[in-house]
Amino acid sequence: MAPTADLTGRVILITGSNSGIGKAAATALARRGATVVMTSRNEARGRRALAEVTRRARVLDDRVVMLPLDLARLSSVRACAAEVLDRYDRLDVLVNNAGGIISDRRVTEDGFEMTIGVNHLGPFLLTQLLLDRLLASAPARIINTSSIAHRLGAISWADLERQRFYNGTDAYNQSKLANVLFTAELSRRFAPSGVVANCLHPGAVRSGFGAGGDTTGPERWILMAGRPFMVSPHRGAQPIIRLASLPEYETATGGYYVAGYLSRCARHQPSAAARDPEAARRLWALSEQLLDSVQPAA
């Protein structure tokens, strides 16, 4: 179990917190006194998760809430950010945790390939929309859930959205590499202003990841075969809990942390591709360019 810290008065936003490690982290951080903003794409699942978290964390007031957020819809990202800014005059921690793996090529409402759209472009936009509030609340923290799969990833600069050839695993690996590069560039730009950024690999976790028809074929079989060897969401959530709450991570930045059985939040070196500062800057610029190509609805 992660060491405890009093988080009374802290506001923490965790995306994808209706299940898995997001829900486990929301429970642990609410138990420590934080105001926790959970998000869910599905309203019914969100309501059930909110009820479970408030019960398990023994929260008797309204400091844990659930907001709708669909990272495949930029309008939903903007609406969620606007709601957070309207409700809270501070934001101490942003946890970009939601994501997925999809076997067949799909596109978001705004026309982006779904995997890069949900795993990177949606969180990128959400972070940008909330940056001023994080900076005003400094010291503040940004935490991005990546994966060990980033080590097999490569950014396809000429075809980021995999229009010419799509493979679900390759697209996922690319998006997880993007998470680490995004973290590095966030750290470079904003750590001097008091907003640190770190990312993590939670381990192989027993959750709903890849379910609901998102995976078929090899991806589906790999997830099913590995399930008996996966860790619990509570164990996988330890890096999020620690990075979000413990004083020693208030100034630590640009790190890639891995959950484990003994050392549950160990800093590891990411892949060589993830340590390329020029790639991090290039991805930031390309992400802005892609998002600028989609005009917000009037």
Q: Alpha helix locations (H) across 59-117?
A: 74-87, 114-116
Cβ within 8 Å of residue 155, ≥6 positions away = 174, 177, 178, 181, 273, 279, 283
Which CATH superfamily does the domain covering 11-291 fall into?
Answer: NAD(P)-binding Rossmann-like Domain (3.40.50.720)
pLDDT by residue (tens digit) across 72-83? 999 999 999 999
What percentage of the chain carries pLDDT values higher than 90? 83
Nearest to 191 by CA among 148, 242, 250, 276: 250
- Report whether the peptide linkage leading into residue 139 is cis, meaning its omega lies within 30 degrees of zero: yes
Catalytic residue among 172, 249, 256, 257: 172
Give the pLDDT mean for 232-249: 93
pLDDT confidence bin for 181, thresholds 50/70/90: very high
What the block records as the tokens of 91 is 């934001």
- For residue 71, pLDDT beyond 50: yes
- For residue 138, pLDDT beyond 70: yes
Q: Would you kindly state where each structural domain of the chain is located, as residue ranges?
A: 11-291
What the block records as the tokens of 242 is 């620690």
Q: What is the pLDDT of residue 213?
A: 54
pLDDT by residue (tens digit) across 41-59? 999 999 999 999 999 999 9
- For residue 215, pLDDT beyond 50: no
Query: Is 257 an active-site residue?
Result: no
What is the rounded average pLDDT for all residues in the chain? 91
Pairing of strands 256-258, 93-96: unpaired
CB burial of 223-261 (b: ≥16 within 10 Å; e: otherwise) equals beeeeeebbebbbbbbbbbbbbbeeebeebbbbbbbbbe
Cα–Cα distance for residue pair 120/290, rounded to 1 Å: 12
Nearest to 72 by CA among 126, 114, 127: 114
